């Protein structure tokens, strides 16, 4: 039986310079008033990007003003992704010059996703020249984010992605091994509304 992951402890453990957080749902009040203040990984991080489903972002902005993202594009960058179906990956990639954290699973960036729900989540860590067994997964995640930026462009996102590769040089992308590409086909997908096909990594398609 797999050990239970304390995601809060994991996100409190180290500080990072970059964070790319993919989510379907997003709860700005919880993120801005709790996550940014309580998690060491985000508290002093000035390179945070939240990438969420575009229809969910529209719904959020059409709702009550008390639920609006008040610190978006000031304290962190917020980007809505608009595939033909829904954008559904839950992936957190955090990195500094020598250290990284990758979290993949079912948890959205919401209070219930991070504090109450029973979620399936796996975390991976790397430290340059000390703990690099999962490094190719980090590189695959960085490549996935690059494909997202190409398909649903944002000037800000396209500027931030090269920064993480420059400052965290171990995340520069080599040819991805087939085994890890297969893993990402399973993990990073969004269902089409009209069929059971999936938006897969690394073979993302604008038609998806």
Residue 124 in any domain: the answer is yes
Residue 200 in any domain: the answer is no
pLDDT, one tens digit per residue, over 14-31 is 999 999 999 999 999 999
User: Which pairing describes strands 18-23 and 48-53: parallel, antiparallel, or unpaired?
Assistant: parallel
Mean pLDDT computed over every residue of the chain: 83
Which range, of 2-6, 141-145, 185-189, averages the lowest pLDDT?
185-189
Contact between 40 and 13 (Cβ < 8 Å): yes
pLDDT, one tens digit per residue, over 31-45 is 999 999 999 999 999
CATH value at residue 16 = 3.30.870.10
The total domain count for the chain is 1
Cis peptide before 115 (omega within 30 of 0): no
> Encoding tokens for residue 6?
């304390």
Residue 77 in any domain: the answer is yes
Residue 156 in any domain: the answer is yes
pLDDT, one tens digit per residue, over 129-178 is 888 899 889 999 999 999 999 999 999 999 999 988 788 877 776 644 44
C-alpha–C-alpha distance, residues 208 and 86, integer Å? 10
Residue 179 in any domain: the answer is yes
Query: Cβ of 118: how many Cβ atoms within 10 Å?
Result: 6
Provide DSSP, 86-111.
-----EEEEE-SSEEEEEEES--BSH
Q: What is the mean pLDDT of residues 65-88?
A: 95
Residue 144 in any domain: the answer is yes
Residue 100 in any domain: the answer is yes
Residue 203 in any domain: the answer is no
The domain of 13 spans 7-187
When pLDDT is cut at 50, 70 and 90, the band that residue 206 belongs to is very low
């Amino acid at each position: 039986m797999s050990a239970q992951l304390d995601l809060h402890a994991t996100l409190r453990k180290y500080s990072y310079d970059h964070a790319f957080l993919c989510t379907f749902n997003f709860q700005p009040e919880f993120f801005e008033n709790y996550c940014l203040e309580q998690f060491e990984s985000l508290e002093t991080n000035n390179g945070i990007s939240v990438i969420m489903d575009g229809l969910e972002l529209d719904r959020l902005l059409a709702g009550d003003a008390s639920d609006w993202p008040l610190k978006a594009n000031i304290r962190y960058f917020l980007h809505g992704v608009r595939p033909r179906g829904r954008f559904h990956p839950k992936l957190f990639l955090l990195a500094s010059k020598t250290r990284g954290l990758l979290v993949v699973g079912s948890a959205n960036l919401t209070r219930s996703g991070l504090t109450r729900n029973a979620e399936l989540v796996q975390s991976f860590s790397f430290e340059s020249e000390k703990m690099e067994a999962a490094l190719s997964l980090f590189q695959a995640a960085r490549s996935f984010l690059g494909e997202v930026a190409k398909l649903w462009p944002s000037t800000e996102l396209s500027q931030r992605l090269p920064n993480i590769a420059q400052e965290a040089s171990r995340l520069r992308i080599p040819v991805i091994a087939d085994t890890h590409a297969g893993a990402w086909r399973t993990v990073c997908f969004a269902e089409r509304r009209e069929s059971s096909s999936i938006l897969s990594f690394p073979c993302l398609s604008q038609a998806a």
